[in-house]
Amino acid sequence: MMAPTVLEDEAFAALRAQLLGAAADLAPDAKHLADLLAGLSDDVARVLQEPLQIFPVAHHSPACAVQLVRRLQRTAPKVIFIEACEDLQALLPELASCVPPVAMQAFAGESPAFPPRWLPLSLVMPMTPFSAEYQAICYGLANPDVELVFVDRSSDHVFQWLPQQEATPTAPGGPSDDDENARLHGGALGVELGSLVPTFPVFLESLLEHSRASTFSEWWSVYVDEPTIGADYNTWRQVMVLVGALIRRLGSRAELVESDRLRERFMWTRMKDHLVAKGIQPKDAMYICGAAHAASDVPEWGTTKLGQPDDPRWNIPARTVTPWQYGFIPSSYSAIERQFGLARGSISVAEQSWEKALKALNLKAMPLPKAAKAAKGEVVEGAETEAPKPKTKTKKAAAPLPEEIASVGGASGVLSRPPSLQAEDHEQLLQWCTGVVAKARENHYMASTADAIAIYQTSLLLARMRGRLHPSPFDFADAAETCLDKGDPTMRRSVRHLCGMIMGGDRVGKVGYTTLPPLVRDVYDRLATVGVIPGKSTVTRALMDLRKEGPRLLPVSDLLWRLRALLPSSDAVRPVMGERRLGVPRVQESWDIKLHGPALRDLIELAYEGVTIEQVLERRLRDKAFAPNATAATVLGLAEDALLYAERDRLSEELGERAVELLRLELSAANARELFERVRRLVHHLRARPEGLPHWLGDFVATGYQHYASLLPQSFADRGTSPEQLAGMLAFVFSLESLALSLGCQRSQVIIAVRQAAPLTTDPGKLGLLWAAEWTLELKRGDEVRAEFNALMDNPMSLSALPGALGSLLLALSFTPLVSALAAELLSRAFMELPESLLLPWLPGLLDSLRPVAGTILPALMREVVQSTPRSLRELDAWTPPWEAPRPAAATATAPKSTKKADERSPEERATNALLRAAPASVEAWAAALGLAPGWAAPPAEGGEEAQSDDAEAPIGDDPNTAAIQSLLTAYPVPVSAWAARLGS
């Protein structure tokens, strides 16, 4: 049957007359409004007259899907153009093994063409079964003679056309961020077919106010979708073009209209190219596009000049060199709602509407061709899935198509007659009312049959008040909330959530095994050992006894640890028990493995980087190591990861060499502590291996030793280098010194550096470190260090520097145990002697600075304190701090300097010494003559020569008088020799 032409269509003529009449009435007063109305009418006429069949749709609109199914049952176009990114078309054959909602994804981990802060680039186009595009795709896949062509700009163009200054082109978080399923798309940028949400706020506000709807989704459902779902094709098309034109002209922000124009030029150029190339007549083609794009004003629009030389075509800009990867990821209703800012639950409402319409109109959704059987048989999810089967029983008598009724009045009458599926609506409302009460009861709400009655009554009253002939799902949800919600904050699920549940709730799609990328399939195959099955939507707990079943389970454990390293923030794999550290044997492990939902998306995104986990891991490690912002510490960490997870010496060697290279270039010691910790760990681990220390690590230690030794003077003087960093440098130098020296380094480099540093060090916070370094290098003795501290403590003017110096002495414990006794002593004295005004402000800072190195220094300090304090209460009374007790002679006798001097004394000197001791009075007199205080040491002990000599050495080191006399005698050897001769020795 020939369809009437546009101008013959009475329904459209009536609408046009109404619009033009209004325009004429308004023309004198409101010219813009008059122009708008006339323009809307012209838009509809233009679209309807176009030979190429423009099929205007809105996103996830069941009415559009129903109309498409009905249309395709009647006429079969040769080609169906779809407003979708052209580069996603290659994914279409894979759709057969997926269960919607799923999203087509374009992903690029790196790109030289876009701002680095945008990376990785991710774009998703989700699909639901009740959308026109999904039905068209199913139809196209099932009918090979019908060509499907995606004609919208490519994913690359989507990002090209974004303002470059935009921070990150990701979707904003919606109200359902707490919901895991709502996060299925991650941070991807969403594109959708038939986006029709007004972006001009004033328009949207006005639209909602006048329609008494709370959200645009509600407005769309109540005023467009429901009234047109059973309407005839022409009426529905007129309404869609009209609404699309209105939103385009009035409801969109100017910059977005401009962006839409670019897309329209793109699409029309692509379509025309295709028609000409394939020799297809425009009337044999269908163009499924968003209603707002239907009546475009771009020069490329229309096929009237197709094939003529003056047919305008756009010179489509080239794509960038970005390497794009494509795949399917699971999607969900809540993720779609979040991505596109739709009201929560609106997709479920659309699904209900779709199922209701299929049943009422006795339609069948377009079936997807069966997917090729996957290799894994039973694990193929969705392989046997066709498009969701309508619940319609074929035996049931077909309901009369309401087309004839609906066509009366055309577009202008759509809102002035009862909904075509009124009986079904009523039945549905009753089901909802009883269903929500039952669900509420399950969820511990106080709900009864009386509530079901009240909800029904309230729904009707609300609908009437809002000027609706029948309660919409949104009216029902309002009514249910009014009657059931008693403001109890302890309820786990809100009444609105329950309403969403009885309307089908959130649905999560599945990506079939065969559609999954090789990496994901490989992961599934390798994890099959521990019971991980593709398509399973529960968490698998893997308990692994690696001692008993090592050969079977160790590869699984390796894979899980690698996954964990690659997806640290994902829930994909989570260790419950077990650890992976260098040198620590694995005994038992327990894992939670969850490869569905957002975790599966994470894994699929990983698959865009390689075909196996190992390849991706290696690539990531190498990429990070050679990134411009890499530091020696981070790369050393990566080398450690390479040893730990990749277990490849070649890779760790490459990364280690990179770390050495970076260390040489570093100008500061900011990461000294971290570097030291890592190197020490690696040295301990690798030295124990049969093959010994790898060359790169030795190189790193030697380079680090020299590097830090040369930085020492500058770091002691530089206020920008903190004591903690300095301690890290010294820890590196002194702790790894033996290894460094064995590799050809020279200690003299450090000695010179410390000597140079001494006069430059003015910061009290570094004095302790300097003195400790000097002590370690034997440039200072312990007594001298103690004397330095005493000087600080005894002088009120320098007392304020003591906390800093003492704090840094404590830091020195991380590289030398020499200072532990002195540190314990000084700390005790500081707590005892420092005034509170100095002590109290110092303590918090001290604790803060020690916290990061507590594990290293506290054990040594505590050991020292334990040794020097009484063990029991009884001992306390008689206890004297070790530093206050008179020191045993033996202690001082062992001082290296004294010992050396004692050894060097000649027999003459010893004899003189004994003589002087025998005549103390003369010595006292000399001392007085020299201006020294009398203070002769104790008489020599009884015993042999050795004991005598030991005793004789005792005062040398400490008694200033003796030292002075000693030097006097050494300076005048002649009298000494004369005395010796007289003594006959």
Partner 1 sequence: MSDTSTSEVLRLPAETRYAEELAFLAAFDAGPRPSSWRLTPRMVRTFVLGSTPQDKMPRDIPQKWFGPASIVERAIVTLASDRGLLLIGDPGTGKSWLAELLSAAVCSNSTYVVQGTAGTTEDQIKYSWNVAMVIAAGQSKDSMIPSPIMTAMQRGEMGRFEELTRCTSDVQDALISILSEKYISIPELRDDNTVFARPGFNLIATANSRDRGVNDLSSALKRRFNFVQIPIVQSRAAEKKIVLFRVKDLLARAGFEIDVPPSLLDVLLRTFEDLRQASAASNTDDGRLESSLSTAEQIGVLEDAVLHSRFFGDAVVRPELVAASVVGTLVRRIPEDVSVMNRFWHSVVDKHASKEKGDWVGFLEGGKEALKQLG
Give the interface with partner 1 as residue ranges (CB under 8 A): 209-210, 212, 214, 446, 448, 450, 454, 457-458, 461-462, 464-467, 478-479, 481-483, 485-487, 489
Q: Tell the smallest beta-carbon distance from residue 797 to partner 1 (Å).
A: 38
**Shorter beta-carbon distance to partner 1: residue 181 or 458:** 458
Residue whose C-alpha is closest to residue 420's, from 218, 222, 231: 231
**CA distance from start to end of the chain:** 145
Dist. CA 515–CA 600, nearest whole Å: 13
For residue 970, the number of C-alpha atoms closer than 13 Å in the C-beta half-sphere is 10
Backbone angles phi, psi at 125, to 5 degrees: -125, 95
Dist. CA 909–CA 869, nearest whole Å: 42
The residue type at 52:
L
Q: Cβ atoms within 10 A of the Cβ of 962, count?
A: 22
Q: Computed from CA positions of residues 930, 932, 933, 934, in that sequence, does the dihedral angle turn out positive or negative?
A: negative
**Shorter beta-carbon distance to partner 1: residue 460 or 539:** 460
**Shorter beta-carbon distance to partner 1: residue 479 or 730:** 479
Q: Tell the smallest beta-carbon distance from residue 231 to partner 1 (Å).
A: 23
Q: Tell the smallest beta-carbon distance from residue 457 to partner 1 (Å).
A: 6
Residue whose C-alpha is closest to residue 704's, from 674, 727, 736: 736
Pairing of strands 79-85, 285-290: parallel
**Shorter beta-carbon distance to partner 1: residue 205 or 549:** 205
**Shorter beta-carbon distance to partner 1: residue 208 or 932:** 208
**Shorter beta-carbon distance to partner 1: residue 213 or 383:** 213
CA 581 vs CA 285, 568, 613, 664: distances in Å:
63, 16, 20, 28
Backbone angles phi, psi at 190, to 5 degrees: -100, 140
Residue whose C-alpha is closest to residue 69's, from 215, 239, 233: 233
**Shorter beta-carbon distance to partner 1: residue 489 or 907:** 489
Sequence-distant contacts of 676-683: CB under 8 A, at least 24 apart: 676/728, 676/731, 676/732, 676/735, 676/736, 678/633, 678/636, 678/637, 678/640, 679/636, 679/704, 679/732, 679/736, 680/735, 680/736, 681/582, 681/640, 682/582, 682/636, 682/639, 682/640, 682/643, 683/736, 683/739
Q: Tell the smallest beta-carbon distance from residue 433 to partner 1 (Å).
A: 14
Peptide bond between residue 101 and the one before it cis (omega within 30 degrees of 0): yes
Dist. CA 679–CA 685, nearest whole Å: 10
- Spell out the alpha helix ranges (H) of 361-442: 403-407, 410-413, 422-442
Q: Tell the smallest beta-carbon distance from residue 101 to partner 1 (Å).
A: 28
Q: Tell the smallest beta-carbon distance from residue 720 to partner 1 (Å).
A: 29
Classify residue 690 as exposed, middle or buried by CB count within 10 Å of its CB (0-12, 13-18, 19+): exposed
**Shorter beta-carbon distance to partner 1: residue 344 or 586:** 344
Is 347 in contact with 60 (CB distance < 8 Å)?
Answer: yes
Residue whose C-alpha is closest to residue 605's, from 739, 511, 713: 511
Q: Tell the smallest beta-carbon distance from residue 212 to partner 1 (Å).
A: 6
Q: Tell the smallest beta-carbon distance from residue 473 to partner 1 (Å).
A: 14
**Shorter beta-carbon distance to partner 1: residue 467 or 845:** 467
Q: Tell the smallest beta-carbon distance from residue 479 to partner 1 (Å).
A: 8
The residue length of the chain stands at 985
**Shorter beta-carbon distance to partner 1: residue 471 or 694:** 471
Q: Look at phi and psi of residue 597 and say left if phi exceeds 0, alpha if psi is from -120 to 50, else beta.
A: left
**Shorter beta-carbon distance to partner 1: residue 481 or 908:** 481
**Shorter beta-carbon distance to partner 1: residue 323 or 467:** 467
Q: Tell the smallest beta-carbon distance from residue 483 to partner 1 (Å).
A: 6
Q: Tell the smallest beta-carbon distance from residue 462 to partner 1 (Å).
A: 5
**Shorter beta-carbon distance to partner 1: residue 209 or 946:** 209
Residue 808, C-beta contacts closer than 8 angstroms, at least 6 positions apart: 723, 726, 727, 764, 765, 766, 767, 768, 769, 772
**Shorter beta-carbon distance to partner 1: residue 448 or 668:** 448
Dist. CA 730–CA 757, nearest whole Å: 13
Q: Tell the smallest beta-carbon distance from residue 56 to partner 1 (Å).
A: 26
Q: Tell the smallest beta-carbon distance from residue 714 to partner 1 (Å).
A: 39
For residue 96, give both structure tokens.
């057969």
**Shorter beta-carbon distance to partner 1: residue 446 or 968:** 446
For residue 259, give both structure tokens.
């962006």
Q: Tell the smallest beta-carbon distance from residue 412 to partner 1 (Å).
A: 17
Q: Look at phi and psi of residue 186 and say left if phi exceeds 0, alpha if psi is from -120 to 50, else beta.
A: left
- Collapsed DSSP state (helix, strand, coil) of residue 104: strand
